[in-house]
């Protein structure tokens, strides 16, 4: 099987490529990535010379380039991880989110229609369901929960999901969608909560917690997400949406404190800052469908996953030091200096 993985130089796509090459060494894997600020070739350095791996620097919005690649590689499967993925950046400047997340997805699906495909899998997010109240722990997102977005990011991802289902109904494109909760693990870009707090704590820099830190996220170790996607692509039903999450809800403040203790730092580093605009209160996935239909269950407990993740950031400082030495500093100043 030949598989195109878009956005494979990013966090989840990179982890997926490692997972796939190990689980299915007989497959040919092509990574298509524009290498935006969030894409890092160093993430893929260990597989770059594999004979069944190819990296192509390309924008998913570049129709000609995408068609050329499909012509050359004749992929059986496309998994679309490529996206602008950070909510705070979408609040600052929505337009690139609309371009990549919506237009880019449609270009990929047009290529799938033109050249034929066994499966187009869209990596979606639980943020398309909006948020749940903090005082209703009995409520969860199911696949039937109405789309109700809060940020330009989640709106662009919801638009992409709607287009994916429209291409299925209108053109019969064999699609699936997964909607996952917050991922954590190796290679996550330092703008996101967990790596940002680990790296700031290591530098004894303030740990900027939005609002009162009471917002809840449902954390899943990235490898468990990769396994779910692989299962959906192989055994999932065409035209279906699968929610992915492991019932691991935590308040932001508790995550930050856990990192502070793990690194033997002081809680005095915690700094409560102005809240994110439109900040979603709580995400919580009901994974019953993927469990019943495909037998998926998360394998990594949060206590183990967070230890592995912190250890990875301690052992791979050159990976993130390279990132935070450049453009990231300007981003950090813009986002946090006067907050
Ligand atoms: P990321 O920001 O770490 O990586 C995104 C990758 O996409 C980067 O390598 C970037 O260079 C590439 N990219 C961006 N625009 C592109 C374009 N126009 N053409 C080609 N490549 C482009 O993101 P991530 O956290 O790994 O998320 C991957 C996917 O999973 C996204 O679709 C995101 O919406 C979804 N998702 C993420 C999470 C999470 O917790 N991080 C949870 C659920 C779903
Ligand atoms: O739920 C899935 C989504 O999870 C994905 O679709 C997104 O791509 C991914 O970025 C993530 O979105 P969040 O907004 O939940 O992740 P983030 O790491 O940005 O923030 C997690 C929580 O931590 C959120 O409530 C905001 C808060 N936060 C974040 C940062 C960066 C802080 O309090 N301080 C911070 O500095």
29, 52 in Cβ contact below 8 A? yes
Q: Which of 127, 191, 230, 280 is catalytic?
A: 127
Kindly give the parts of the chain with pLDDT less than 70: none
Segments of the chain assigned E as strands: 2-6, 28-33, 53-57, 77-80, 119-125, 175-180, 183-184, 207-210, 216-218, 220-221, 241-244, 249-251, 270-273
Cα–Cα distance measured from residue 226 to residue 255, given in angstroms and rounded to the nearest whole number? 23
Nearest CA to ligand 2 atom 3: 182
Please, which residues bridge with residue 272 across strands?
A: 209
Crossing angle for the helix pair 327-336 and 317-324, to the nearest 10 degrees: 70
pLDDT for the residue numbered 326: 84
Catalytic-residue membership of 230: no
Q: Which of 153, 184, 221, 331 is catalytic?
A: 153
Q: Is 220 helix (H, G, I), strand (E, B) or coil?
A: strand
Cα–Cα distance measured from residue 154 to residue 335, given in angstroms and rounded to the nearest whole number? 19
Among 192, 201, 270, 278, the mutation site with the greatest number of ligand 2 atoms within 8 A of its Cβ is 192
Q: Is the dihedral of CA 82, 316, 195, 228 positive or negative?
A: positive
Give residue 319 CA to ligand 2 midpoint distance, Å: 21
- Virtual torsion, Cα 195, 200, 206, 212, nearest 10 deg: 10
How many CB atoms lie under 10 A from the CB of residue 63? 16
Give residue 199 CA to ligand 1 midpoint distance, Å: 21
Nearest alpha-carbon partner for 3 in 105, 118, 102: 118
pLDDT for the residue numbered 224: 98
Give residue 197 CA to ligand 1 midpoint distance, Å: 20
Cα–Cα distance measured from residue 280 to residue 163, given in angstroms and rounded to the nearest whole number? 24
């Amino acid at each position: 099987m030949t598989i195109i993985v878009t956005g494979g130089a990013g966090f989840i796509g990179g982890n997926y490529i490692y997972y796939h090459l190990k689980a299915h060494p007989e497959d040919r894997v092509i990574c298509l990535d524009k290498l935006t600020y969030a894409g890092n070739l160093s993430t893929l350095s260990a597989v770059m010379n594999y004979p069944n791996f190819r990296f192509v620097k390309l924008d998913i919005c570049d129709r000609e380039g995408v068609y050329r690649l499909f012509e050359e590689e004749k992929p059986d499967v496309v998994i679309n991880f490529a996206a602008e993925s950070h909510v705070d950046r979408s609040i600052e400047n929505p337009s690139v989110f609309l371009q990549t997340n919506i237009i880019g997805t449609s270009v990929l699906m047009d290529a799938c229609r033109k050249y034929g495909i066994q499966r187009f899998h869209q990596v979606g997010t639980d943020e398309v369901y909006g948020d749940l109240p903090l005082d209703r722990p009995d409520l969860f997102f199911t696949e039937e929960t109405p789309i109700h977005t809060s940020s330009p990011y989640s709106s662009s991802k919801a638009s992409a999901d709607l287009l994916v289902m429209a291409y299925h109904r209108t053109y019969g494109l064999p699609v699936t969608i997964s909607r996952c909760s917050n991922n954590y693990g190796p290679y996550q870009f330092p703008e996101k909560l967990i790596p940002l707090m680990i790296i700031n704590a290591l530098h004894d820099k303030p740990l900027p917690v939005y609002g009162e830190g009471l917002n809840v996220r449902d954390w899943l170790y990235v490898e468990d997400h990769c396994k779910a996607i692989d299962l959906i692509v192989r055994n999932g039903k065409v035209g279906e949406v699968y929610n992915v999450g492991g019932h691991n809800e935590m308040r932001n403040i508790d995550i930050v404190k856990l990192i502070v203790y793990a690194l033997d730092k002081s809680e005095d580093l915690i700094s409560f800052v102005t809240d994110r605009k439109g900040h979603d209160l709580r995400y919580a996935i009901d994974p019953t469908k993927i469990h019943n239909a495909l037998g998926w269950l998360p394998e990594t407990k949060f206590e183990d996953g967070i230890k592995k993740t912190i250890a990875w950031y301690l052992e791979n400082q050159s990976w993130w030091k390279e990132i935070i030495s450049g453009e990231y500093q300007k981003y950090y100043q813009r986002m946090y200096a006067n907050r």
